[in-house]
Chains A and B, each alone.
Chain A
Amino acid sequence: MKQVAIYGKGGIGKSTASANISYLLSKKGLNVVQIGCDPKHDSTRLLLGGKTQVTILDYLGSESGGDGSEVIAKGKNGVICMETGGPEPGVGCAGRGILTAFDFIKEKSIVPKDTDVIIYDVLGDVVCGGFAVPLRKQYANVVFIVTSGEFMSLYAANNVLKGIRNFDNGDSRLAGLILNSRGNENEYEYVKNFADAVGLPIVAVIPRSKLFSTAESNGMTVAEMFPDSKETESYKAIVAAIEQELRGETRLHPANPLNDDDLDLVAKGIRVRPKEFSHNTRVLATTERTALRSCGIRVVSNCCLSILDADLVVHGPMSCAHYYNSAYDRRILNEGKTDLRSVNYRTFPTCLDDHASIFGGGKMLAAVVEKRAEAGTKLIFVITACVPGIIGDDTENICLDIEKRHPGTRIIPIPMDGILCGGGIQAMNMAIERICGLADPDVDPHENLVNIIGYAESDDRVLNASDETERILDAAGLKINCRFLHRNRSEEIIGFRKGRMNVLFSSGMTIKHQAGIVKKSTGVDFYPEPLPRGLAQTEGWLRRFAEREGRGLGPAESLISDMRQEYLEGMEPLKSRFEGTTSIIYIDTSSDIEWLLETLEAMGVKTLEILCPTNSKWNMSDCDLSISRDVPVLYDKNVGDLEAEIESLKPTFTVGTNYTLSSLKTLHMVVEPPRPGIKGCMEIAKRIARMIEVNRYGLN
């Protein structure tokens, strides 16, 4: 059996050519199947007396429960006709439709076993992987490209050649060009120039003729209605080429497309010699540095669900919603926040399926959002996964329409489209901007109120209890207006501007990004220093804050004194036990490390080296590590490098915040950054001390 694909620009006459070829092949006694691969599904019409047939995608969408034979129609001379069909223009993904239809044909084995030739009539250009399916090696053995003497037609033909080239790597599957004449001046020479340049023969020249429209208006092919015409004769060259191929006699050609400059010369009628095509090979993102390793769904779900009276609609497959669902309830259990509503009552996936990916998921989205609005939810976030982004669902307008019908309900779309907007940080930025849109611009700031940006609770309850944020702010004469995106009610976001400035919870790059967006969206500026960790930072923070405010230390004076005393009493006993021990630190470049260096120093531990793993470009944090102490820092070091350094320097232990540390076989501790103040650092010091003691005990 031979499988023949007929490609070419839309409207160039592929379907007419395909139907005539199928008809003539069948007249030779061959068993022929013609499969139209175009959403407008008119490829087989002339073989069916002008009638249309049930398309494969219509059949799959109807859930009729048949055996699949419904998609087969028997045409003239017994040609078996099928149409893949596809979505309406402007919605869904026609390429996915072709993929699904081909899977169906294969799965159901509906091509008869005694078929001699399958003709694939494929839409226009090779526009995406879906339309290139017939080019896959398990399908077309022979490819014809239909063209005319118009530039756009040759451009499309050249694109088809590029597509074939991507599949074949120099193999030969091309039979040649079919020139479907438009009657332009010097048309043959023009196309011949292109054919010579790409090294292909013109297999047939189909004349421009009224006989085609006459036959078509009678629901027939020219070959059937005017069998002895020169028009029919012109197709016989193609039929002969296919017959030769069936006998194994033809010479097929490799795809050798032109580059844009050469195609331009051809368009001007200038001769171009055939030459090896080279295209810019895209550098694939596969490394620690370049590969994208986060998705906005998780981060943005987290942002949206932190507004406790909001519902979240996840427009995408169920799995995208599940990733978050599976973690959310567990997290609130781990944190002991069991008064919060389960994510099951707050997250509503649209459950996009294959059908929606072909025909569009807008209706499914509208149904779910509408239902939430009808249920009385006053704030609904809608986030989008990759699939609606790829198929182009109009999420924003769907939400807007529903919002108009439900006065008093805010529907906030965050169309980050899974990974299409980038990684977690890029998606988070979009979410923050939209959430900040809730803030009332007419609210006036209060003198002593601040917002905390990036506050996050830990499931480590001891560390949580060590948080001294309020102790520090109290000493500075400040109160918290809003812990932004930490279990807020929507009123807190609306009243966000009551805070006269934003204070960053920590120095992480993610939080800095958040703060920038919050400032841009709400107009509330942020204090340049994040909340401090460790003794030196806390003391410095309080002094500099008082200076900036142009007032004396006041209550901060006694806090500093108390903290010094507590720190000394807590750390001094450790020093005597761990003097002389050494460490290597493994930490991301964007992290604050001063607290850790101070803690280790206070314990009497010498830090030999600091290693930083390769920074992903998606983290947007290409800064060097900021440290005030004289410790060597090595960048771009992954766990293998770290192991080598440990082997060479033999530190007592390795410590850091990067999770990959846990794969080390030597003594190590992955620590969570402490909460603001000194108590968190002292707790971490105790844990490091326990690690060393347990290890000493174990070794003895």
Chain B
Amino acid sequence: MGSTEMDGFIGCVLAAESITDATTILHGPFACRMFMSLASERYIKRKYETREGDYFFHFSRIPCTSTDKDDYIYGASKKVAMILDILEQDETEFATIVQSPGAALIGDKLKDEVLDKGLDRKTLVIDSSFMSEKFSLGFDSVLTKIAEKLTEPSEKKRMTANIIGLPFTSRGYARLLKEIRRMLSSMGIEVVAAIGAGCSLEEFRRSSSAEYNICIHPEYCRMLSRYYEDVHGIPAITSDMGAPIGYYSMKAFVTKIAERFGADPSIALKELSEDEEDVRMAMESSVGQADYLNYKTFSIEGESSVIYPLADFLIRFLKMYPKSIKVTESDPDFERRIEEMLEKIGCPEALGMEFGAGYTNILFGPGSFVELLEKQGSCAAGIDISMPSRDQIDIAPKSIMGLEGLHQMLDEILNAR
């Protein structure tokens, strides 16, 4: 089987794009820019307007040097300098310059161009393209470098937190963030910045004042959380159950945060318990229907911090059984727990089994792929949890995390035939 994963280069560019009022300059071919530019326009909330003229060419995001063969031979750092001139006129506050795999090979003197223009303070040059590395490596590295550039020591503000490890490529992240903010607020905790999920420069700068970093997926923020801990003394909170998926993991998430902050989780936990009761009642009262999936199979392709809580929920709450597990982004702790879980339930072989091969009742994976498999009759329902997605316009909650996401997911699972 081939691969549909996004790599570190895409992660690197999208990390820089996650800051709402900063700019990313791509030194590379226009075609490399297209995908990222569209993803950024689609998923990060900004005022949308196309922009004509050199380097932008009718898109609003990621001005690009549009390198060609001659540029690869003779170098084209002057194009970057010209883009910097445009951004200066626009009073752009901060720019990250990234390089495509090909452009990174030729070694243009981009830092010298930045230094010559006196823009070192507000411009970050990323030397590596992170090509074919994990998406998380590019994403995490670039956000860490931006944090190094933007944050300064600051006095800690009690009962505040940053959200980290939630890339905006995570489907339905915006609605999920709203829910997390509401849940934290019920415990008296205020969010300073959601780093990597559409924060502003001002929020990023203030992030060093947070008391804790709340980590959603540790895979995407290893270096970033270490930076905040070492430089700003901000510890990271990672739930032992992983991402907040399903009742057990959501409760663990809330409880752990409350413990570390010394906050009262009762309102949030009550809401979760009541909801769980409602859902159980709905399932029990639909005699036979909800039992349909009992002891049927599921397969997941995703991050280890998603797989662990999701599989745990599907097994314990819905009585389903794992068939294939494919870890795309790994955290060693969660990967070990997944192995232990599969061992315990008697199917360690699921970890090496090809995702999507044969029939599986419910598939969780890249949106387009699982939907195609659903249409082809390889599963009863294909649930979109990662890119490449169908690229639909999401109005309803689409994350599988949080309570809203759980409802959405349960609807799809329980009604799948």
Contact = CB atoms under 8 A, between A and B. Distances in A.
Residue among A288, A353, A391 with the most chain B CB within 10 A? Answer: A353
A169 B109 CA distance: 13
B76 to A, nearest CB: 6
A351 interface: yes
A286 B31 CA distance: 14
B107 A319 contact: no
B408 interface: no
B9 A660 contact: no
- Chain A contact residues (Cβ within 8 angstroms of B): what range? 35 or more
A348 B9 contact: no
B69 A422 contact: yes
Contact of A339 (B7, B112, B116, B376): B376
A349 B375 contact: no
Given A291-B30, A295-B29, A390-B105, A344 B68 contact: no
B58 A639 contact: yes
B10 A286 contact: no
B54 A351 contact: no
Contacts of A329: 4, 368-369, 371-372, 388
Interface in A51-71: none
Contacts of A342: 356, 369, 372-373
Contacts of A463: none
Contacts of A167: 109, 112
Contact of A298 (B31, B67, B129, B369): B31
A128 B103 CA distance: 12
B79 A330 contact: no
B2 interface: yes
A220 interface: no
B70 A285 contact: yes
Contacts of B34: 323
A132 interface: yes
B106 A129 contact: yes
A108 to B, nearest CB: 14
B105 A333 contact: no
Contacts of A98: 107
A195 B141 CA distance: 46
A293 B32 contact: no
Contacts, number: 222
A660 B29 CA distance: 20
Contacts of B112: 136-137, 167
B372 A351 contact: no
Contact of A333 (B2, B102, B111, B375): B375
Contacts of A344: 1-4, 356, 369
B330 interface: no
B343 interface: no
A354 B128 contact: yes
Contacts of A660: 50, 58
A700 interface: no
A375 to B, nearest CB: 11
B54 to A, nearest CB: 5
Given A329-B388, A387-B131, A390-B105, A294 B74 contact: no
A318 B372 contact: no
Contact of B109 (A136, A319, A346): A136
A657 B290 CA distance: 50
A299 to B, nearest CB: 10
Given A333-B375, A387-B102, A132 B107 contact: yes
Interface string A119-133: 000000000111011
A284 B372 contact: no
A599 interface: no
B4 A326 contact: yes
A352 B132 CA distance: 6
Given A317-B9, A419-B31, A663 B50 contact: yes
Contact of B115 (A93, A96, A137, A295): A137
A295 B31 contact: yes
A282 B388 CA distance: 40
Nearest to A347: B2
A291 B373 CA distance: 40
Nearest to B83: A286
A16 interface: no
B132 to A, nearest CB: 4
B52 interface: yes
Interface in B101-146: 101-102, 104-109, 111-112, 115-116, 127-129, 131-133
A687 interface: no
B387 interface: yes
Contacts of A638: 52
A137 B4 contact: no
B54 A322 contact: no
A163 B153 CA distance: 41
Interface string A3-37: 00000000000000000000000000000000000
B179 interface: no
* Most interface-central of A96, A318, A357, A638 (chain B CB within 10 A): A318
Contacts of A357: 101, 105, 131
A94 to B, nearest CB: 11
Interface string B81-117: 0100000000000000000111011111101100110
Interface centre among A93, A137, A167, A319 (most CB of B within 10 A): A319
Nearest to A368: B2
Contacts of A339: 376
A322 B10 contact: yes
A276 interface: no
Contact of A291 (B57, B106, B388): B57
A534 interface: no
B127 A99 contact: yes
A347 B1 CA distance: 8
A318 B375 CA distance: 27
Nearest to A299: B31
Contacts of B32: 295, 319, 323
A322 B5 contact: yes
Interface in A307-331: 316-323, 325-327, 329-330
Contacts of A291: 30, 54, 57, 66, 68
Given A282-B74, A354-B131, A420-B69, A293 B30 contact: yes
Given A330-B368, A386-B101, A321 B52 contact: no
A326 B368 CA distance: 8
A457 interface: no
B72 A390 contact: yes
Contacts of B50: 639, 660, 663
**Most B CB within 10 A of own CB, among A169, A659, A663:** A663
Given A137-B111, A137-B115, A319 B102 contact: no
A697 interface: no
A217 interface: no
B374 to A, nearest CB: 9
A257 to B, nearest CB: 16
Interface in B313-365: 356
A417 B101 CA distance: 13
B59 to A, nearest CB: 10
Given A325-B4, A663-B58, A338 B375 contact: yes
Q: 8 closest A-B pairs (Cβ-Cβ)?
A: A129-B107, A295-B31, A386-B102, A326-B388, A317-B131, A329-B368, A338-B375, A318-B7
27 contacts: A95-B105, A129-B107, A136-B112, A138-B111, A284-B78, A285-B71, A317-B101, A318-B5, A318-B9, A318-B131, A318-B132, A319-B132, A321-B3, A323-B32, A326-B35, A332-B372, A333-B371, A343-B2, A344-B2, A347-B2, A353-B133, A357-B105, A386-B29, A390-B72, A639-B50, A639-B52, A640-B52
Given A166-B75, A329-B368, 9 more contacts: A93-B105, A129-B107, A137-B112, A284-B71, A321-B2, A325-B3, A326-B387, A418-B102, A419-B67
Interface of B: 1-7, 9-10, 29-32, 34-35, 49-50, 52, 54-55, 57-58, 66-72, 74-76, 78-79, 82, 100-102, 104-109, 111-112, 115-116, 127-129, 131-133, 356, 368-369, 371-373, 375-376, 387-388, 390-391
